[in-house]
Amino acid sequence: MLTYILKTILSLSFVFASMASICKCIHMLQLNSYQYAGYFRTVFRIRSYFIPYFFMCVFALPIALCLSAESIALPVISVIFVLFGLVRKPDKYAKKKLVYTMRVKRLVITNLCLCAIACAGIFLLKSETLFRLLPIVFYALTPFITLLANLINTPMEKAINRHYINDAKRILRSSGVNTIGITGSYGKTSVKFYLSALLTEKYDTLCTPSSFNTPLGIVRTIRSSLTPLTEVFVCEMGARHVHDIKKICDIVHPDCAVITAIGNQHLETFHTLENIKKTKLELADAVEKKCKGHVFINSDSVCDAASLPYSDIITYGTNENADYMAHNIRFSEKGMSFTVTCFGKESMDFTTRLLGSHNAVNLTGAIAVAHTYGISLESLSPRVRRIAPVEHRQELRPMQGGVIIDDAFNSNPVGAKSALDTLSCFDACKILITPGMVELGSAEWELNKEFGKQAAAVCDYVFLVGRTHTESIYEGLKEAGFNENRITVSPSFSDAMAQAQVMRTEKKKAILIENDLPDNY
């Protein structure tokens, strides 16, 4: 009887520890879009995820093997499981918490079934050594058990996804809506929101919310929000691998393409800039194949835009050859003003609360599309004035004793340089808080180092968050002659922000938050 009680205690503590750890692993899997490569990089790159499994093996296994009396060994192992379960419970302070979607719930159920099988083994195994080792080995392998559960569920998930995709295709076919696809290495979310705000002047417009730019995110938007009254669907398309854009185009069949920029982003998965360009242009290929419709391209980023093999290319940017040229760009702490000249003829002045020269280009792209869709520049001017900053993209927020330039959503070499240019316009003590740029592949060190050099020319103080991605920024700052006493390496973003806010300065403060890495970094 005592043996069964002890086995029951062991089983319950094992399930508690395993499910806490499995939920943590599922969280990492979700943050990496259920991609195995990114998941493994996270689990084995971040010590706080890897070390508990290592210690379970080197600490619990000897106890399980060396303690001979069941009455001692099993309670000790149970206590160890409970302690590890408390360590591995989902983090309530996570920047992006685990979202319990139906897919996650199905994954949890499959993991519970695997745990149940292991628990049955605890009771049925007659070998004392084996039933002690089984729960420890299972726990140590939970990163792989989670992947096994995901693999078991894959056929079912594919069938469910196929049903949703086919339903979304049916809805689009029957709606007759005009679809505008937007992609790019950066700027696509901003252009999407700006364009949607401008098109509502004339059309009933739907755009994908937030950063919904994956096939299933787009499908969800179509199935839940597209109505018979919708005239224009503005669809943001994201990509991390070659042919990702083509997969989305095969669902929505866009009538118009907007390519915001092509640059060094997600090089960790794309590997080369040529692969990025090829993937982004899959949107233009789809439009050309369907209807030879408008293809809008940021000619500041894509230098050979005008020579690309598409029937109807319209360029925008700050260069003189752009069909929609932004020029006379002026900044203040209240926003920005600029002029747009259309095909070298018609011109219009615009003012906006947005900051950053890149946003002048993004707005010009939105203006170009809206103007081509029949809305006059005069009608667009007041709408541009009312456009609100997109959250965490050079969003200006007041604080006691100064302002915060919140550019935390993501970071890339072009956007980071633009944010520093914006910071330089403020007559204030200029403070940078950054964890560095990621997903830049083999170029990451050099690009972060260059960012450090650029920051040295603008900033008075720099707070680096963590050491993993900031050592190269530190090197760049030092190489540019920046005072090392004004560089602080903080363990977390909250610590850096707290130090920057309490810092005493003669001037008011302008704090630039450049990037804020998600929990899988």
Q: Is residue 182 a contact partner of residue 236, using CB atoms and an 8 Å limit? A: yes
Q: How far is CA 171 from the centre of its chain?
A: 28
Local structure of 427: helix, strand or coil: coil
CA distances from 341 to 15, 195, 318, 338 (A): 66, 18, 10, 10
Give the whole-angstrom CA distance, residue 114 versus residue 119: 9
- What does 168-205 look like in DSSP terms, one character per residue? HHHHHHHHT-EEEEEE-SSSHHHHHHHHHHHHTTTS-E
Q: How far is CA 221 from the centre of its chain?
A: 18
Phi, psi of 393 (to 5 degrees): -125, 85
Give the whole-angstrom CA distance, residue 457 versus residue 430: 11
Q: What is the pTM of this model?
A: 0.78
Nearest to 330 by CA among 420, 416, 411, 421: 421
The list of the chain residues with pLDDT below 70 reads: 1-17, 44-95, 122-123, 125-134, 266-267, 332-333, 517-521
The pLDDT score that the predictor gives to residue 442 is 75
Ramachandran category for residue 493: left, alpha or beta (phi over 0 → left; psi -120 to 50 → alpha): alpha
Give the whole-angstrom CA distance, residue 521 versus residue 513: 17
The pLDDT score that the predictor gives to residue 373 is 95
Give the whole-angstrom CA distance, residue 388 versus residue 329: 18
Give the whole-angstrom CA distance, residue 79 versus residue 292: 67
The pLDDT score that the predictor gives to residue 345 is 87
Phi, psi of 374 (to 5 degrees): 95, 15
Which residues, listed in sequence order, are joined to residue 331 by a DSSP beta bridge?
Answer: 336
The pLDDT score that the predictor gives to residue 69 is 46
Q: Is residue 20 a contact partner of residue 85, using CB atoms and an 8 Å limit? A: yes
Give the whole-angstrom CA distance, residue 195 versus residue 208: 12
The pLDDT score that the predictor gives to residue 132 is 64
Which residues, listed in sequence order, are joined to residue 339 by a DSSP beta bridge?
Answer: 327, 349
Give the whole-angstrom CA distance, residue 99 versus residue 96: 8
| Complete domains list, the chain, with CATH | 2-155 (no CATH), 176-386 (3.40.1190.10), 395-514 (3.90.190.20)
For 292, residues 6+ apart whose C-beta sits below 8 A from its C-beta are: 310, 311, 312
The pLDDT score that the predictor gives to residue 423 is 87
Give the count of alpha carbons within 13 A of 488, CB side only.
Answer: 20
The amino acid sitting at 279 is: T
The pLDDT score that the predictor gives to residue 31 is 78
The pLDDT score that the predictor gives to residue 200 is 92
Give the whole-angstrom CA distance, residue 162 versus residue 405: 42
Give the whole-angstrom CA distance, residue 122 versus residue 117: 9
- What does 403-422 look like in DSSP terms, one character per residue? EEEEE-S---HHHHHHHHHH
For 208, residues 6+ apart whose C-beta sits below 8 A from its C-beta are: 192, 217, 218, 221, 234, 235, 236
The pLDDT score that the predictor gives to residue 57 is 62
Residues in the chain: 521
